[in-house]
Amino acid sequence: MTPREALHKYFGYDDFRPLQSEIIDSVLAGKDTLALMPTGGGKSICFQVPTLVLSQDDLNKRLCLVITPLIALMRDQVANLEARNIHAAAVYTGMSWDKQRVALDNCLYGPYHFLYCSPERLESEEFRKRLADLPIGLIAVDEAHCISQWGYDFRPSYLNIAAVRELLPDVPVLALTATATPETIDDIQDKLGFKAHNVLRKSFHRENLYYVVRRTLRKEEQVAHILTKVPGSAIVYVRNRKRAQELAEWLRVTVDGLQVDYYHAGLTTKERNERQKAWTEGGLRVMVATNAFGMGIDKPDVRVVIHYDLPSHLESYYQEAGRAGRDGQTAYAVLLFNSNEDPAKIKKRIVDSYPPKEFVNSVYHKTMDFLQIGAGSGLGHRFTLHIDQLCHVMHLPVLQTYSALHILTQAGYIDFEEEHETQPRVQIKVERRQLGDYNLSLEQAELLDKLMRSYSGIYTELQYVREADQITNDHGSADRQKSQITNHEILVSLAQRGIITYIPRTIGCSLTMTMERQTEIFLSSAIFEERQARFVTKINAMLEYAEQTQFCREQVLLSYFGEKNAAPCGHCDVCRELEHRIMAE
């Protein structure tokens, strides 16, 4: 089967998009490949098609290991592949080990072609052992810029990929990212152990995307004005959760008939899924969101992306702006800029993101004290960390404390995971034959029966279960529907009677001790001064983009990403102003 035949058979397309064919040919030739494709460029096809082709020729290479940081994206891609009769599985944090084993057994013995996992799963020795036995023919690394310490979204867990390559030395790697500077491009290939540097890139030029910087002292009114003038679906990016909620509520009141809601990481999984679905399907026109919204979104008809606040770097700005106009029709990326306030605000992020070393040292020891971890102990232990409580008890500023914990993670002392979501856990403490002695209600009996049938190890240890109100699919009896009692309430009542142990779902931060508590910590120049200097450079580049009015907006962006000889776009605000001046002369 040729790649084009696979594309048509499984995906219904007659031809590839630009660069897809070249990337697939490189992968099929067994070459480590770094593919740079703009947001919406069709990255998934680049590992899905070659895997399906390889599986026809060699059953020992029928499986692709896809490493991606987003659980929601894993689930969506698995569902999309299954809908095309292509078997795929996903393993991620929160799954019971029994379910992980089933998924891995399916990949070993069944007709499966894709195994999705998060980079954190690669930390598990048991998981890595199982990988060595699987018929893996390709490793695909999505959001590959996360492995580079010079990337804008460095994640230490991505460094585990190098260990997987040692287990599978003859398996090629396809690394995919939408944004990377020349320096980051080299670092990705080095960190992933490329046998030879091999970069395939598509120009970051977007013919249909109009970049605009709008200077204003009244940003709310500008957002309302733009949404009134530009019809169609929209995203408004803001810096924090409070502003997301307040701006969405203000727009709902101010713009008559506007269907708008907000999105951030503090919402429950159910709330996030419902709001994203409503927006994707057109029930909502506008989403006001933090940067938690966007990765993995496949909505082609977004007409405008508005940045209410300046991002910290051009990488994230380009990626977020690039969610507009994926259908090839005219779309707008608008950055709102208040010259009186924004420069000071963005420069303050330097201090917030890189507080003094003495402060980082203080946060380390105060966090250890707060968690009651003694010197020389704690290795391997995982803790739920409530930052607000830590900062209140230890008299620490919140933003700088977050940054200090991330710096300590990069230095290897801890693994701090922000906004970690823990699924509900349940263990049944009473043997099944004894449950009749407890005079259970119909609702309690129904739910216990469902749990016992769904989770085989639920008597011996705590099991991660689905979101409490999704454990049953039929909402139980008519009496239960009438009473509208929730699964969470039933589980609480069972726990109060001593029948189960129940740990509800939580959203918070987690901290894992990657080494025992140290009496002193050391931050190398690569961890601190060099990263701080690069962060300053990125902040300055973002600010210069917003302030300058001489050069084409797209030219500035393309030059930043290494395309030095791009022509002016002709339709950004700078190009249009230049055209007006020329015509007026």
- Mind listing the pLDDT tens digit for each residue in 532-571? 998 999 999 999 999 999 999 999 999 999 898 899 999 9
Q: E strand or H helix at 106, and its extent?
A: helix 97-109
- Token pair 């022509």 is found at 567
Q: Which residue stretches of the chain have pLDDT < 70?
A: 40, 93-94, 96, 295-296, 419-422, 466-485, 506-507, 583-585
DSSP helix, strand, coil percent of the chain (3-state; round to 5)? 45, 15, 35
Beta-carbon count within 10 A of 419 CB: 12
Tell me which DSSP letter residue 179 carries. Answer: -
Q: How many CB atoms lie within 10 A of CB 327?
A: 14
Q: What fold, for 3-201? A: Rossmann fold (3.40.50)
270-284: string of b/e by CB count within 10 Å (b at 16+)?
eebeebbeebeeeeb
Cβ density class 338-350: b for 16+ within 10 Å, e for less: beeebbeebeebe
Q: Are 38 and 328 contacting, i.e. CB atoms less than 8 angstroms apart? A: no
Question: How high is the pLDDT of residue 481?
Answer: 46
Q: What is the phi-psi region of residue 11: left when phi exceeds 0, alpha when psi lies from -120 to 50, beta otherwise?
A: alpha
209-345+534-584 under CATH 3.20.20.150, yes or no: no
Looking at residue 485, its pLDDT comes to 67
The per-residue pLDDT for 51 is 96
Please state, in angstroms and rounded to a whole number, the distance separating the CA atoms of residues 255 and 257. Answer: 6
Tracing tokens 């309302």 back to the chain, one arrives at 224
Helices marked H in 112-240 — which ranges?
125-133, 161-167, 182-191, 219-229
Alpha helices in 333-466 (DSSP H): 342-353, 357-370, 387-394, 398-410, 442-454
Per residue in 47-73, pLDDT (tens digit) is 999 999 998 877 788 999 999 987 777
* Residues 315 and 244: beta-carbon distance below 8 Å: no
What pLDDT does residue 232 have?
A: 95
pLDDT for position 88? 95
Tell me the pTM: 0.78
Residues 6+ apart with CB under 8 A from 192: 32, 141, 144, 147, 161, 162, 165, 173, 175
Domains 209-345+534-584 and 355-422+508-527 agree in fold: no
CA nearest to 303, candidates 370, 232, 367:
232
Q: Which residue has the tokens 């929160």?
A: 94
- For residue 474, the model assigns a pLDDT of 45
CA-CA distance, 169 to 163, in Å (whole number)?
A: 10
Pick among 2.60.120.380, 1.10.10.10, 1.20.120.530, 3.40.718.10: CATH of 355-422+508-527 = 1.10.10.10
Q: Phi then psi for 216, rounded to 5 degrees? A: -160, 150
Domain ranges in the chain are: 3-201, 209-345+534-584, 355-422+508-527, 425-504
User: What does the angle CA 14 – CA 19 – CA 25 come to, to the nearest 5 degrees?
Assistant: 80
| pLDDT tens digits along 441-483 | 998 999 998 898 888 788 888 887 865 555 554 444 445 444 4
